[in-house]
Structure 1
Amino acid sequence: MDRLTSMGVFVKAVDLGSFASAASATGLSAQMVAKHVARLEDRLGTTLLNRTTRRQNLTDVGRAYYERCKHILAETEAADAIAQEMHRRPHGLLRISAPVSFGTRCLGPVMTAYLARHEGVETEVTLSDRYVDAMEDGFDVLIRIGAVNGTALIATPLRPYKMIACASPAYVEARGMPQAPSELAAHDCLDYAYWSPSVPCRWVFSRDGTSTEAKVSGRLRSNDWGTLLHAAREGFGIVLGPELVLADEISSGRLVRVLPHHEGPARPMNALTPANRRPTAKVRTFVDALVAAFG
């Protein structure tokens, strides 16, 4: 028998004055009510209720135990209510991990809009291109670009992370506009240097169902997207970057698209949540916000 259940039955029997009344209120038989009380008495090694065929009276120990049981049961109900409310309404700290370039350029408006809608939520956003473990590092939601492996995470697909090539108008005027991916070999290309040497930087373009891998080289490589973008604006080469980020650069005229008739590489993007945790309201609503913005 569960001790907390037995406490509840005991309190109900005291409040209602008889085992029969407690049985009717709890949906148990009078015999089962008696067993719950007897189980508590056996465990404590003392009598809680003096019972006769006509009446029952609390012993001194029973009276003290009854008061504490009422307090414990009230606290348990309050704890359950808090947990249920947090499950229904977004509340508490939400820890998010996202790639650096995506986070710095795209995530800000989503975060502020989300916080404006859910005043009970605090957020902590960590930007990193390195691998993180959601369980060990305590993240609630991870935004990741690339293939998802394993079953420890539940993936909610977002829009594919499309890449396009761009350069400054000054660079194009000085060096010319490439007409095919093969011509990039004659240009200065600003290459993204991954933190892991095992991850190659590939510029793959497709047109009419045919893919071509361009051979690129240049004077500047970096694992910081901001550095590459600044160099592209200053006319130091052609950069391959996320369409989500470069759209503003193109619309402002700071950059122009290179190889506009070719599709750049696209990688899957997902919102990931730990599979071993039941999603709370804050997690569910934030993933919904990501889908609305990037789905």
Structure 2
Amino acid sequence: MEVFAKVADLGSFAAAADAADISAAMVGKHVRQLEEHLGVRLLNRTTRRQSLTDAGRDFLDRTRIVLAELEAAEAIAADGRARPRGELRINAPVSFGTYSLSPLLPAYMAENPEVTVRLTLSDRVVDLIDEGYDCVFRAGPLHDSSLIARGLRPLNLIPCASPAYLERHGRPRHPSDLARHACLGFSGSALEERWTFHGDEGEVVVPIGSRFSANSGHALRQAALAGMGVIHHAEELLADDLASGRLIRVLAEWRSERPLHILYAPDRRITPKLRSFLDFTTSRFSRERGS
């Protein structure tokens, strides 16, 4: 099962063989024996690459769960001071994962040389258990109470627009002015329908109209650069454009944040690799550290 999972992740017998430190022929033997045992084909084979069948995709999801439970069982039997080791599977939102998390991962991996990191970036809400992740980052309000959540420093959201857009439509002076502007909503979230600001007046919630919306911060950024409207997104994504003047910040005296948490399963023992990453993450993204 471990060999099969490596083939699925890496796409070829040769790459899996290198990762497992065995021959490609032995990788093929493991997969064939697994298919014979199950009575189904798990992989479609070509001369250069292997792809999952439908049965293989379903089996891979359950394989990840079994391997995670096996690793947890081994960790229980090991010394509590065991070094973090093994594969750590993480999921994070695209903008946060690209601009905030990824730059810190080399430091984590240097501190934990026996841990292999598999980072998946997606703005959809993944199923941590069924998809076999050790932990996931989630931006926005939490709705799933079955997972354990650690609160991290909120994401700082910046409203801004291109100079050309502001020249044509004027600059909003108060959050309520956004109702008269073209606002670029983040689809699939509350940010597609309303934006929340905090200032001297307290909390102000502004319903927005999104003639253009997208479930990608990069797509919204391109739209803002093209003068299509006001973007309201994480500071990390927009920092270079703000510094260069390609985008102009508006409503600078108002604060807007989005909650950020890291989540993991409550019914699975925290392995040394997961504990080390949770501690690393909370120290780097603690509320006390600030922006």
Regarding TM over 0.5, the answer is yes
Q: Relative to 1, partners in 2 of residues 1:150 and 1:218: Cα closer, same or farther, differing over 3 Å?
A: closer
Q: 1:49-73: CA deviations, max 9, x gaps? A: xxxxxxxxxxxxxxxxxxxxxxxxx
1:281 is aligned to 2:272: yes
Q: After TM superposition, which residue ranges in structure 1, 4 or more long, deviate above 6 angstroms?
A: 79-82
Question: What RMSD over aligned residues (CA atoms) do the two structures have, in Å?
Answer: 2.7
Give me the identity figure in percent: 43
Indicate conservation of the 8 Å contact 1:154/1:272, yes or no: yes
1:159: which partner in 2? 153
Aligned counterparts of 2:194 and 2:166: Cα–Cα separation in 1: 22
1:125: which partner in 2? 119
Please, which of 267, 270, 295 is the counterpart of residue 261 of structure 2? 270
| Counterpart secondary structure, 1:136 | coil
Q: 1:181-215: CA deviations, max 9, x gaps? A: 22222222212111x7x985311223214333324
Which of these two proteins has the greater Rg computed from alpha carbons?
1
Q: Relative to 1, partners in 2 of residues 1:214 and 1:147: Cα closer, same or farther, differing over 3 Å?
A: closer
Matching of residues 1-295 of structure 1 within 5 Å: 84=78, 88-149=82-143, 151-194=145-188, 201-264=193-256, 266-295=257-286
Aligned counterparts of 1:228 and 1:95: Cα–Cα separation in 2: 28
| Counterpart secondary structure, 1:185 | helix
Indicate conservation of the 8 Å contact 2:161/2:227, yes or no: yes
2:3: which partner in 1? none
Aligned counterparts of 1:234 and 1:259: Cα–Cα separation in 2: 20
2:63: which partner in 1? none
Q: Relative to 1, partners in 2 of residues 1:289 and 1:192: Cα closer, same or farther, differing over 3 Å?
A: same
> Could you list the runs of 5+ residues in structure 2 that have no partner in the other structure?
1-72, 287-291
Aligned counterparts of 2:178 and 2:131: Cα–Cα separation in 1: 41
Output the TM-score relative to the length of structure 2. 0.65
Q: Relative to 1, partners in 2 of residues 1:247 and 1:82: Cα closer, same or farther, differing over 3 Å?
A: same
Indicate conservation of the 8 Å contact 1:92/1:121, yes or no: yes
Q: 1:84-124: CA deviations, max 9, x gaps? A: 26862111000111122222332211222222332211111
Indicate conservation of the 8 Å contact 2:193/2:209, yes or no: no
Output the TM-score relative to the length of structure 1. 0.64
Code of the residue aligned with 2:100 in structure 1: it is C
Aligned counterparts of 1:260 and 1:154: Cα–Cα separation in 2: 35
* 1:82 to partner: Cα distance: 10
Indicate conservation of the 8 Å contact 2:184/2:220, yes or no: yes
